[in-house]
Structure 1
Amino acid sequence: MNRQELRLALRMIPFLNELDGDAHGVLQLREKRWLVWHPDVVASLWRNDRTLGHPKSRTLSPLLGNGSMLWMDGPEHAEYRRFIGPALRGRNLVRYEEIIHELVGRTIEELRPGDRVGLAEWTRKLTLRVVGRIVLGVDDDVLLQAFSKWLDRRLGNRARTLAHRFLGRGVPRFDDEVDRMLLDRARNAEPPALAALLPPTNLRDQLVSLLFAGHETTAGATAWTFYWLDRNPELCEEIQAGDEELLTATIMESLRLCPPATLAGNRSTPTGLVLTPSIYLAHRRKESFPDPKSFDPHRFLGKRPPSSHFFPFGGGVRHCLGMDLALLEIRLIVTALLRRRQVRCLRPRSCAPQLRGAAMAPPPGLAMVTTCRP
């Protein structure tokens, strides 16, 4: 690992900020690895994605397992997406909407007026409850708390992530008790729980991947949306009045400025070249988004940027299967909390992002206080 790669690994956000404004949109990290964010390069990757390889993440593969759907390629990957994709979109979203309403309502009721609650911690707890119900078919807070603690031990802050990545040397970092509880619950699941639809091969890896991918980035996106609404009270008032189009645009603008995933995985060519699309830098190109550092949801009203400019959920054949579910979840959480509570963020200006792996969330110090609405 050379100096450029080390800087990306150790100080990712400051390193990316130094590249902000570079119109070339490509940076050589080492002889055969490039960081890319120019729309033309990204568009070419998306077009040719079926012919490219998708190397495992050195940070996540020891946690999620080598059998995770995130590392599948070729026919195996295509078959998995055909198998699980329909359960995460279309008419199935109506059923999930009922689940989200129920769990959001319960979690909001647990907020005692006046309490200070870590914003990112609260959204992670809620989104893990939601994906836990969807995947396992039942509520199991004991299991989900154990799963959350296991993740925190590995990814809870940047120091833990780096220690896990560089000192673990790719050795699996499973938790036998968490895995046992997950498998026991999954083997007793009945449709429409996703666990009942999964093939038995690599079941543990698929369960962990669904729980991790199904809550971590959604939680970050939800927390960032609340952060920006707190910074823009007039916008918040319009959304509280029922402007759903503006709410969707606000979520999109939050995903642009604060993408919960900073990178869109790796792509490898037959010659051994590895290309890593940077979501963070692509979203801040002034050529794609005028005045890119300003928070302006109106840029998304009635407009849909090309997928080579705006790709918070990745792209190509690896775009996130749960995108529609995630957007539905964010909308319902924001709407329900604003309707039932008055929300205020504490110290919003000191909000340096926290990385959990390559996922970007508000720091633990960003707390919210809620009061009951009259």
Structure 2
Amino acid sequence: MNRTELRFALRMIPFLDSVEDFEDGMVRLRDRRWLVWHPDVMAALFRNDRDLRHPPSRTLSPLLGNRSVLWLDGAEHTAYRRTLAPMLRGARYRTLIEEMVDRSIAELPAGPTSVLMWTRRLTLRIIGRVVFGVDDDELLTAFTRWLDRRLGSRVRTLAHRYLTPGATRSDPQLDAMLLHRARTAEPPALAAHLPPEDLRDQVVSLLFAGHETTASATAWTLYWISRTPEPTADLDATIMESLRLSPPATLAGNRMSDEGMVITPSIYLAHRRAATYENPHAFDPARGQPPPGAFFPFGGGVRHCPGKDLALLEIRLIVTALLRHKHVRLSSPSCTPQLRGAAMAPPPSLAMVAACRR
């Protein structure tokens, strides 16, 4: 590993900040691997995505499994997305989400609580209901502990990635609980349509991807609203600007050509490119429509997130309900992003006090 790739791995956000002014929108991490963010390159890459391979993440594949839909290619990937996509259509879950949001708001303590921990608990409950059809807080708590042991800090993430490369990071007891719940779900949407040997990887992938980035995006939206003296009445524009400036995923997965060239799109850098966005570090929900390839918080090409509509609905309903029922005050005027793999969230120390509106 050369010095550039080492900086990228160990201190990703400072490294990305250090190269954001590269006008060509790309930097070589090592021989035959490039980090790219120029909008023209991104648009072309996503247009031709079906002709590329998608190597698994060295951080996440030991967690989610090698059979996760996130790493499959070709006809297999297309078939799995067709199976999973109907589960993730947002509109069918509006009533469920509203009920779970109201319950979580009612459970908020009178004193400070971590914004991120609250949004993670809530979004995991929601995707748990989507996947399993029932509430199972014991199972979801065990899932959270398992994730935290492996991704709870940058040190843990890097230790698992580089000190035990290739080693599985699954938990047999947790896997047995997840499989039992998936097989007894009503209706058994996953178990009825997936090969038994792939069921575990898809369940874990749905739970992880279905709550981690949504929780981060919701927390970031609340953070930016708290930092804006005169917030806009257009919540959708506020959410989109939050996704631009604080994307919950810094990278959009690896692409590999037939010649073995690996290209890693940087969402973080594409969204902060000065040649694309005027005053890119300012939070401005009134920005116009960005050009193709300049805004992709949910990824792009054949790898765009199938749960995008569900995630946006959750963010909108959570923020709307919280601000309608509570007067929300955040504890800190600024915060340093925290990474879990390539996911970027506010630190757990960012606390909110949610007082009842009179």
Supply the distance in 1 between the matched residues of 2:348 and 2:140 (Cα, whole angstroms). 20
Residues matched between the structures, number: 358
What pairs with 1:85-96 in structure 2 (closer than 5 Å)?
85-89=85-89, 93-96=90-93
Aligned residue in 2 for 1:160? 156
Supply the distance in 2 between the matched residues of 1:12 and 1:199 (Cα, whole angstroms). 37
What pairs with 1:197-346 in structure 2 (closer than 5 Å)?
197-235=193-231, 238=232, 243=233, 246-300=234-288, 303=289, 305-346=290-331
Supply the distance in 1 between the matched residues of 2:292 and 2:351 (Cα, whole angstroms). 33
Supply the distance in 2 between the matched residues of 1:359 and 1:15 (Cα, whole angstroms). 15
Equivalent position amino acid for 1:278 in 2: S
Equivalent position amino acid for 2:91 in 1: V
2:165 aligned with 1:169: yes
Query: 1:329-355: CA deviations, max 9, x gaps?
Result: 000000000011111100232x00000
Supply the distance in 2 between the matched residues of 1:197 and 1:105 (Cα, whole angstroms). 33
2:102 aligned with 1:105: yes
Aligned to 1:368, what secondary structure does the other structure show?
Answer: strand
Supply the distance in 2 between the matched residues of 1:121 and 1:10 (Cα, whole angstroms). 24
Identify the match of residue 126 of structure 1 among 117, 122, 133.
122
Supply the distance in 1 between the matched residues of 2:292 and 2:75 (Cα, whole angstroms). 24
Shift of 1:260: 0.4
Shift of 1:193: 5.2
Supply the distance in 2 between the matched residues of 1:109 and 1:197 (Cα, whole angstroms). 37
Supply the distance in 2 between the matched residues of 1:32 and 1:112 (Cα, whole angstroms). 51
Structure 1 residues 274 and 102: CA distance shift in structure 2, 3 A:
same
Q: Which runs of 5+ in 1 are unaligned?
A: none
Aligned residue in 2 for 1:74? 74
Structure 1 residues 189 and 32: CA distance shift in structure 2, 3 A:
same
Aligned to 2:70, what secondary structure does the other structure show?
Answer: helix
Seq. identity, %: 66
Q: Does the 8 A contact of 1:191 with 1:197 survive in 2?
A: no
The Cα RMSD (Å) is 1.3
Supply the distance in 2 between the matched residues of 1:366 and 1:20 (Cα, whole angstroms). 26
Supply the distance in 1 between the matched residues of 2:352 and 2:126 (Cα, whole angstroms). 21
Query: 1:250-286: CA deviations, max 9, x gaps?
Result: 0000000000000000000011100000000000012
What TM-score, normalized to structure 2?
0.97
Identify the match of residue 342 of structure 2 among 340, 358, 367.
358
Equivalent position amino acid for 2:283 in 1: F
Structure 1 residues 333 and 178: CA distance shift in structure 2, 3 A:
same
What pairs with 1:134-153 in structure 2 (closer than 5 Å)?
134-153=130-149
Shift of 1:143: 0.2
Supply the distance in 1 between the matched residues of 2:190 and 2:229 (Cα, whole angstroms). 39
Supply the distance in 2 between the matched residues of 1:348 and 1:126 (Cα, whole angstroms). 24
Q: Which runs of 5+ in 2 are unaligned?
A: none
Q: Does the 8 A contact of 2:91 with 2:310 survive in 1?
A: no
What pairs with 1:54-73 in structure 2 (closer than 5 Å)?
54-73=54-73
Equivalent position amino acid for 2:8 in 1: L
